Structure formats: structure tokens, C-alpha cells
Chains A and B, each alone.
Chain A
Amino acid sequence: MTGYLPIAVMILIGAGLPLVAFGVSMLLAPRKPEPLKYTSYECGVEPTGGVRERFSIRYYVIAVLFVIFDVETIFLFPWAVRYRVLGWFGFVEMALFIGVLVLGYAYAWKKGALEWA
């Protein structure tokens, strides 16, 4: 597991760098509070309406499809690394797996889950 210690170091540096920079910026940057500065951006006019509103169902459908396909991708990785050892057995197994997924994909396409407009 020592191979993963450097990754933890990188994550710490990656999180520390912005924190330090925010600190330096806080010390150096001017601070002149004014109420209008802190309103939400709305092209210069007074903001109207709320922000926490409902948005298109499409985003949820895409999210569900993503979960399915991403899990599939993860299943493919270990298979790919051992592919030449598994030979035709591995090919047929994965062809069946992808085939089942493609059926679902075709169904989603036919039902219009992939249409955006």
C-alpha cells in the first residue's frame, strides 16, 4: 500500500495550495463592503425570482444512464487487462454482457431518453 502514500501527499498539496493562496489573498486584497456588490449577478438589473427552483427532468435521466454505463466501464477494466489470457472465453462472456447492455441502451434510445430538445 506504500504506493498510495504519495497520492495522499499529492491530495494534501492540492488542497493546501489553494488554502494558502486564499490566505495570502485575504491579507493583501482590499475589502470595501457595499450592499450592491453582494447581490447575485443578473446583467445589472435587480434579481427577480428564486434560484432553488425545479429544473429539467432530462438531467435526472442522464444521471441514471450514466450510473449504468459507468459501472459497465469499471467492469471492463479488469477484463481488458486479462483479456489475452482469457481468450475466446473472455470475449464471449463480455460480448454477452455488453449485448445485454446494448439492448437496454437501444430501449432507452427508442423511448427518447437520449433526446434533449
Chain B
Amino acid sequence: MQTFLEAFLVPAIQAVVVVLLMLLAVAYITLLERKVIAFMQVRIGPNRVGPRGLLQPIADVVKLLLKEDIVPAKADRFVFWLAPILVTMTAIAALAVIPWAGTDATLHVLGYEIRPVITDVNVGIIYVLSISSIGVFGIVLGGWASHSKYPLLGGLRSAAQMISYEVPLGLAIIGALMIAETASTVKIVEWQARHTWLFWLQPVGVLLFYIAGVAENNRAPFDLPEAESELVAGFHTEYSGMKFAFFFLGEYISMIVVSALVVTIYFGGWLPITFGLGYLVPAIPAALSGAWGGPGVHLAFGVFWFALKTFLVLYVYLWLRATFPRYRYDQLMEVGWKFMIPVSLAWILFTGVALLAFDALAA
């Protein structure tokens, strides 16, 4: 029973901590988004609730919790309920394989082994892709169950958009997997610790992945499903109160997941940012990753670098939203099918040839 408890209890506690942290992070990302976009548009942004508006997210949560929950009379009640749960569930489940520190940060508490990742499955990256594609169902079902015109159109658009960009999303990672020879999220960072960030070897891959990720999350400039000027609020027009809040939460957690994946696959996960100085003086990355301390220190440094990088990648989402106008729907599909897919296929072939040539030269 010990092993079962160990396999169940430790991840359960980790999962609860991670989910609570994510809820807090999402709350403050919403404030950050409003502030950042306000400053980019020379406005002040929320500044009424608490000092500098810092309590705004809490006020928002309380407001959403106290709002009347309206289900349209013609809606399919069960599916109407199911949709926001699906969206949130898949977004949270995808967090399971994201490592936030190296294996040297494994803690031992009361005889239990606490690893700095909820679970390290050997197909971690494929798992994230597959579970996040289930999230499409939440949006489509939400649009369909509302029994209203705008949500239906929003849901259909969203389905077509998400499945179109799922293909380049998967193809973009292939190059990184070919080089690192693993699909595990932990091992791919360990490979980068031994060699270099995959970003330097896969610049096109990371661009394709990020663009597809933005489109997959229905974020600006690809936020067609909820284009307010033509579809009101898209698939969640009829949603209110807590059900709306969970569509919102799912979307923001998906943003964090995509950012964390970009960091894990291409930007060295929990490794410190050294601007290449590690090749000249190996002591610098060692000092910046807390090599002088015990597992606790490793954990603190790993989490710090991972959170910093994830935040920087996440910030680009907000930056894009303030910078670009929305795509037209036919342009969106054109970019997906006529640009992203051919380029990602060509990039796989290029990576393949370059890798074999390199291996032949090195041998």
C-alpha cells in the first residue's frame, strides 16, 4: 500500500498546490493584461480597488461568484454545464507534465519523494498536445448547447480554427524531438542542460509553435471565435456567472501551458539565463542555478528561472494583443493551411538533412 499511497498522495498534494498557484496566477494575469494594454494605449487601467488596483482580480472573482447563473430556456442543459468543465479540466490536466525544476531538486519529506514535476511520462509532449485538443470539444459544445446564433457560429469557427492550427502545432515540435531524441518534458530540458537551448537550433520551430499556440488558444490576433464586433462574444455569449468564469480560466491556463511548453522545449525550462556565458565560464550557470546548495536551493532557483521565462513568453501574448489587429477569417485559414503547414513540413525535412549531415561529420 505504501507504493500506492506514494504514487497517489504525493502527486495529489502537488496537484492541489499547482492548481491553487495557477488560480492565483490567472487572477493576476488578468490584472496584468488590463494594466499592460492600458499603458500601451496610454491609459491608466484599473486603479480603484485596492492600492494601484491590486485587489481588482479578487473583486472580479467575488462578482462572478455572486452573479445570477442564467441558462437559456432552449439550451441543452447538460451539455451547457459540461462545456466549461471540459475546457477547465483539459487545461488543468495538461499542467501535469510540466517540470518546474531539475531532478536534483527532488525533496525527501517524511520518507516520501517529492519530485519537481507532477509526473514524468515518456510521451509528455504528445500527452499535452492530445489533452489540449480535447479542449476544442468544450468550446464547440458550449456554442452548440447555447441554442443561439452567435454562440453556434463562434463555436464552429473556433472548431475549424483550432483543428487547423493543431496540425502545425504538432509538426513544429517534431524538429526539437528529432534533435533531443525524447518526447519527455524532463529529458528534453536535461538534453538542453548538456548541450544548448533548442531555440538556437530550432528558431523556425519555436516561431511556428508559438504562432500555432496563440491561434490554438483563440488569442488576439487570432481571436476570431469571440470577435465582439461580429459575433458578440462568440461561443460564450449565453454564459454568465461561474460558467463564464471557467471558460475564462481555461483559456488563461491554456495560455500558461503553451508558454510553459515553449520554455520547456525551446528555452531550457528551469535552466538559468546566462546569455551563452556558460561556455566561457562554467561557474556562472552553476552559481545561477544554485549548485552550491541542497535540493531546496535547487528547487528555489529552478522555480525562479522557470517562472521568469514563462512570464516573459506570456507577456508576448499581451503584447501581440495590443499590437495587431484581428485577422479576417479567410486570412486566418489561409495562414494556417497554406503557410504554416508547408513551412513546418519543409522545416522537418531541413532539420532531418542537417542533423544527419552533422552526425556524419561528427562521427
Say whether B232 contacts A41, CB under 8 Å.
Answer: yes
Nearest residue (CB) in A for B10 is A6
In the assembled complex, B91 has its CB within 8 A of some CB on chain A: yes
A49 to B330: give the CA distance in the assembly, Å.
Answer: 26
> A51 and B148 in contact (CB under 8 A), knowing A9-B11, A87-B356?
yes
Max chain A C-beta neighbours (<10 A), residue from B3, B14, B70? B70
Please name all residues of chain A whose beta carbon is closer than 8 Å to the beta carbon of B14 when the two chains form the complex. 6
The distance from the CB of A80 to the nearest CB of chain B, in whole angstroms, is 4
A72 to B118: give the CA distance in the assembly, Å.
Answer: 30
Complex partner residue of B177 from A10, A77, A98, CB under 8 angstroms: A77
Say whether B164 contacts A51, CB under 8 Å.
Answer: no
Please name all residues of chain A whose beta carbon is closer than 8 Å to the beta carbon of B15 when the two chains form the complex. 6, 9-10, 13
In the assembled complex, A117 has its CB within 8 A of some CB on chain B: yes
In the assembled complex, B292 has its CB within 8 A of some CB on chain A: no
Interface Cβ pair total, 8 Å cutoff = 214
Q: Which of B66-106 contact A (CB under 8 A)?
A: 66-74, 81, 84-85, 88-93, 95-97
Please name all residues of chain A whose beta carbon is closer than 8 Å to the beta carbon of B334 when the two chains form the complex. 114, 116
The distance from the CB of A50 to the nearest CB of chain B, in whole angstroms, is 9
The distance from the CB of B259 to the nearest CB of chain A, in whole angstroms, is 18
Say whether A21 contacts B246, CB under 8 Å.
Answer: yes
In the assembled complex, B65 has its CB within 8 A of some CB on chain A: yes
In the assembled complex, A103 has its CB within 8 A of some CB on chain B: no
The distance from the CB of A27 to the nearest CB of chain B, in whole angstroms, is 10
> A77 and B181 in contact (CB under 8 A), knowing A38-B70, A87-B356, A116-B329?
no
Complex partner residue of A84 from B65, B163, B181, CB under 8 angstroms: B181
In the assembled complex, B208 has its CB within 8 A of some CB on chain A: no
Nearest residue (CB) in B for A15 is B89
In the assembled complex, B189 has its CB within 8 A of some CB on chain A: no
Max chain B C-beta neighbours (<10 A), residue from A13, A38, A59, A95? A13
Say whether B119 contacts A6, CB under 8 Å.
Answer: yes
Nearest residue (CB) in A for B133 is A70
Please name all residues of chain A whose beta carbon is closer than 8 Å to the beta carbon of B89 when the two chains form the complex. 11, 14-15, 18
Say whether B19 contacts A18, CB under 8 Å.
Answer: no
Say whether A31 contacts B150, CB under 8 Å.
Answer: no
In the assembled complex, A107 has its CB within 8 A of some CB on chain B: no
Q: Which of A29-80 contact B (CB under 8 A)?
A: 29-32, 35, 37-43, 47, 49, 51-52, 55, 58-59, 62-63, 65-66, 69-70, 73-74, 76-77, 80
Q: Which of A63-117 contact B (CB under 8 A)?
A: 63, 65-66, 69-70, 73-74, 76-77, 80-85, 87-88, 91, 94-95, 98, 102, 105, 109, 114-117
Say whether B163 contacts A25, CB under 8 Å.
Answer: no
Nearest residue (CB) in B for A91 is B352
Say whether B181 contacts A102, CB under 8 Å.
Answer: no
Q: Which of B142-191 contact A (CB under 8 A)?
A: 146-150, 152, 156, 159-160, 163-164, 166-167, 170-171, 174-175, 177-178, 181-183
A88 to B85: give the CA distance in the assembly, Å.
Answer: 46
A24 to B341: give the CA distance in the assembly, Å.
Answer: 45
Q: Which of B82-139 contact A (CB under 8 A)?
A: 84-85, 88-93, 95-97, 118-123, 126-127
Please name all residues of chain A whose beta carbon is closer than 8 Å to the beta carbon of B318 when the two chains form the complex. none
Say whether B163 contacts A63, CB under 8 Å.
Answer: yes
Please name all residues of chain B whose beta carbon is closer than 8 Å to the beta carbon of A115 when the two chains form the complex. 330
The distance from the CB of A99 to the nearest CB of chain B, in whole angstroms, is 10
The distance from the CB of A82 to the nearest CB of chain B, in whole angstroms, is 7
Say whether A40 contacts B92, CB under 8 Å.
Answer: no
User: Could you list 11 further interchain pairs (A-B, Cβ under 8 angstroms) beyond the known A30-B66, A31-B68, A83-B355?
Assistant: A7-B97, A18-B84, A35-B73, A62-B163, A62-B333, A63-B160, A70-B166, A77-B177, A81-B177, A81-B182, A98-B348
Top 6 nearest A-B pairs (CB, nearest first) are A6-B11, A14-B92, A14-B89, A116-B330, A40-B148, A73-B170
A-B contacts, 10 listed (Cβ < 8 Å): A22-B81, A24-B65, A41-B238, A51-B148, A62-B163, A63-B163, A76-B171, A77-B177, A83-B178, A116-B334
